[in-house]
Structure 1
Amino acid sequence: MSDTPPDHLSVNPNSPHFDAETLRRGIGIRFKGVERRDVEEYSISEGWIRVQLGKKVDRHGQPLTIKLTGPVEAWYQDVGAADAADEAADTGDASAD
């Protein structure tokens, strides 16, 4: 698997940008320098995210979303966790010397 997340991804199974394998792996999103966990869809190249607008739903039962624009960063959470574990191991080894 590649360590670069897709440019465009959605959590809605009806979307053409839905990818269950990628979502199972876990995606971290940073929007305008703040880590977000409520992102429904994102596009890195176009610079936007979609987040749910409260608990409101449309007439089909789908959540209403709002599009926010700005710089978007994405990463795989399992890769980030492995990197953090490697850094912790590196700092632990340095203090043992």
Structure 2
Amino acid sequence: MTDTAPDRLSNDPRSKFHDAAALERGIGIRFNGNERTDVEEYCVSEGWVLVPAGKALDRRGRPMTIKLKGTVEARFLT
């Protein structure tokens, strides 16, 4: 494993961007200068994060998400 976090990562195991090894190490996300702990998916190169939209759920019971655009910085916590 490298010391740089992946460019794109998802918490959803059905996604092709899911990487269990990277998630086990712990990922820290800084979005527009603020530390975010509720990020479902992110992309550093495109500059966006997906975060839950309150407590709303879709028809399959997964949280509804909102795409926020801005400056994304990802790093490993350990």
**Distance in 1 of aligned mates of 2:12 and 2:61:** 12
Any runs of at least 4 consecutive aligned residues in structure 1 with deviations exceeding 3 A, and if so which?
none
Q: How does 1:1-97 map to 2 (within 5 A)?
A: 1-78=1-78
**Distance in 2 of aligned mates of 1:35 and 1:58:** 26
Q: TM-score, normalised by structure 1?
A: 0.78
- For 1:43-68, what per-residue CA distance to the aligned partner results, in whole angstroms no more than 9, with x for missing partners? 00000000001111111111100000
Q: Which amino acid aligns with 2:22?
A: T
Unmatched runs of 5 consecutive residues or more in structure 1: 79-97
Question: What RMSD in Å do the two structures reach over aligned CA positions?
Answer: 0.6
Larger RCO: 1 or 2 (CA < 8 Å, sep 6+): 2
Give 1 or 2: higher strand fraction: 2
Alignment identity in percent?
59
**Distance in 2 of aligned mates of 1:26 and 1:19:** 11
Unmatched runs of 5 consecutive residues or more in structure 2: none
**Distance in 2 of aligned mates of 1:36 and 1:61:** 23
Give 1 or 2: higher helix fraction: 1
**Distance in 2 of aligned mates of 1:54 and 1:17:** 24
Secondary structure in structure 2 of the residue aligned to 1:2? coil
